Amino acid sequence: MQGIGDYLGEVGSIGISARQKDWLSKLERQIAGGREILKESSKSEMDTLNQLFWNWVRTEELKAWYGEPEKKSLFQGTSVTALTIPGEFETPLDLKGMEKLEEAIADSFIENHRRYESQIRGAIVENVDHWMSEGAFYGFAIASKVISQALGLTVPNGDVVFDVDGFTVDPHEITTYPDEVRYAYFETCLDRLTCFDGVELLVRELESSLVLADISKPNLAVYEDQLMLAPVRCNEICSLISRHVTDLIRDKTGGEISPRSLMVTIFDTDTPNTYHQINGYYGKTTAPMLPGITLLGASGGIEAFRWLYAYRVGLVSQKIMKSSLYSQVNNSFVPFVFYGVLVERDAEILLDLDNLDLLRYRGQISPYIEYLYLLPKLKNYLKATSDRDLSEDLNNIRL
């Protein structure tokens, strides 16, 4: 099985493209603008901007409630979650490498595209030939532990729960131990966790992986007495999956279905409290914590697929999956969920379909980077709001 170190070895080739360089230059400029707003704004001004931001977050949460498929309803959500189709299997995927996972995603994409193409054509007045030639879905969200399975990120329980300087360290409670214990634990783990060979892990990366680790696992013998760790460097993983699956879809259909690029989002169902503590984000208004799920990675530039869109598709996907990765009760397993739009023009307006495969930036989703990038847009919304004498509204109620 190809490990995470080998898989990430391909990342270096991404950075040489002109598209990627242009995106990262734009990212730096926009972040500089966000930092300038932080520096120049008064507390009152920042309070207003923060309130606007949380109104947007709440909107995404409400829209997520519309996004879960209902019986006999094809288009059930709004905008980027209008078409929400689970990749469903009767048994858990027994994944032995990222190639197997990518092939399973491509096959499911093609199968679901063909299953729903005639219904989409019948529901839309406009000609959809171009849309269907690129695929019914612009991308998919995937559960983090599916990535963990494909990369072999599982270890015996005893390799991560052990004594350090008189403390029996439980990785799920890592922030409760003294700093010297945490570092000694990290050093020991580096020797034990060979599944991360080839990756020079930072302390926060290992701790993040461990704090999101799952005791519950698919009912497969290989996972008995094992702890499933969370993946790291998820933005890189998303970009690579996007490129590989896009190529597979084109190859498997002989070009009949040829996406320009595909969005990939990786999320974890744990609440992000301890994860944000470990990464230094907790309690900081400049690094907001989106509740309910932990967003780990996304492909595409921020304007190609927005941070809050990634949040919404993560919430919808979690609602659809409902622990189906592990449950043996219903024989319905959903490791990933495909997303499409209501009409083709929605995709062109809301998404940058040429750049959904870009490496967003190194590492995992950073709420600090995402929020700084968003700040100039929030500020411009306020600037563009026309002046209004609200007494006019009161006058309008008089007959």
Return the residue matching tokens 């901007």.
49
Assess contact for 64 and 315: CB atoms under 8 A.
Answer: yes
pLDDT digits (tens, 9 = 90+) for 135-148: 999 999 999 999 99
List helix spans (H) across 124-254. 129-134, 144-151, 179-192, 203-211, 234-252
Nearest partner of 202 among 363, 360, 359, judged by Cα: 363
Closest CA to 283 of 377, 175, 367, 171: 367
pLDDT at 217: 65
- In this predicted structure, the answer to whether residue 93 has a pLDDT above a threshold of 90 is no
| For range 167-179, the mean pLDDT | 89
pTM for the predicted model, two decimal places: 0.94
pLDDT digits (tens, 9 = 90+) for 296-349: 999 999 999 999 999 999 999 999 988 777 766 667 899 999 999 999 999 999
Torsion sign across C-alpha atoms 347, 348, 349, 355: positive
Q: What is the CA 311 to chain-centroid distance, rounded?
A: 7
Can you read off the two tokens belonging to residue 269? 């169902």
Question: Binning pLDDT at 50, 70 and 90, where does residue 115 land?
Answer: very high
pLDDT tens digits, one per residue of 238-273: 999 999 999 999 999 999 999 999 999 999 999 999
Give Cα separations from 78 to 114, 192, 299 (angstroms). Answer: 22, 46, 21
Kindly state the percentage of the chain with pLDDT values over 70. Answer: 96
CB 367 within 8 A of CB 285: no
Answer for the pair 289, 304: CB distance below 8 angstroms, yes or no: no
What separation in angstroms does the CA of 172 have from each of 99, 230, 295? 30, 12, 18
Residue 70 CA to residue 329 CA, distance in Å, equals 21
Residue located via tokens 């945490």: 182
Whole-angstrom Cα Rg for the chain: 22
pLDDT exceeds cutoff 90 at 73: no
Q: Calculate mean pLDDT across residues 168-177.
A: 88
Strand blocks (E) in the chain: 83-89, 139-143, 154-156, 162-164, 167-169, 226-228, 263-268, 294-298, 333-340
Burial class (CB in 10 A: 0-12, 13-18, 19+), 205: buried
CA–CA dist 121, 24 (Å, integer)? 38
